Structure 1
Amino acid sequence: MRWFWLAMMMIAALTLQGCATSYTLSESEVEDYLDDKLSITEQQSPIQFLETELNLNQIKVRIGRGNDKVQVSTYSELVIRTPLLPLRATLTATIAATPWYRPEDKGIYLRDLEIVSIDSSPKELGVPLEQLGKQSLSALQLFLSSQPVYTLDQNDWKQDILAKLGREITVEPGKIRFHLSAD
């Protein structure tokens, strides 16, 4: 019986060692998670008789491209309702932030959020749209700074092991790598 438990411990140790060197979280996994969790439709009236509606349509995540940050880019459609006719525009915004892992709830969060760029179309409405975009980005920044951008799935055995023993993450081009520790 003693040999059985020793063999089981060796198998578990080898399994954990394999996870420690190979488990990563890809850009597409973070995108899929955010697509499921993040839905922003915001309406505001910054000026009397002028109502705006912003719909977040697409999220693109880039991890570790030239630095240890995660970039979240959003593509949104904006409708500005004026007394004469509605104006349609698009707004693309990119936010960069540093990821960190919080073991208490098994989530990866973002901190030190900064706006990298805001682009709008049509260009003729660039300055007003970018001002509206900055205001609308506050909802996205609030979400990204207070909610995890990914939570480990405890139904997946590898992620369950990471949830129990993972304490540190590092950012690499295109992925976030988890490191295990037994403390």
Structure 2
Amino acid sequence: MSVRTILTWPHPRLEAVCAPVEVIAPDIRALAEDLLETMYAAPGRGLAASQVGALVRLFVMDTTWKEGARSPVVCINPDVIERSDERATADEGCLSIPGVMASVERPTSVRMVWTDLDGMVHDEWLRGFAALCAQHELDHLDGIVTLDRVDDAQRDAILDAYEGDL
């Protein structure tokens, strides 16, 4: 396992739509392990393969590790198949846009299907922060960054602050 470099916006790979994982081969296992190590080192709660330059539909998350024991989840070919009507606005950070928080509205729960490293298919309702984190990481697999989820005024303010830090 190794810590990989996290790409920062506006790197073009962050705008790419990722390809499905066809086979859970050793390179996919190694990528998942590297993503987890990189996420924990960052320290973040989620990380998509595209954020380290690998354009495959894979992300990892661990939404509770900062409060307790680690409980990593590896999501291969994730897909949200149902969303709650209830929505909430929350501040989101992104390891690819360091130092920036954006106020993003999302469904508060989602039903997501994914495959784990053992080839088992999961079909679960994610709620609260887990739902928000999964949606954020899934956005990365579709070439969407937080800046694409805010209105023009918020985007302009974020870009002014972000560009000032470069």
TM-score, normalised with respect to structure 2: 0.26
Q: Higher strand fraction: Structure 1 or Structure 2? A: 1
Rg larger in 1 or in 2? 1
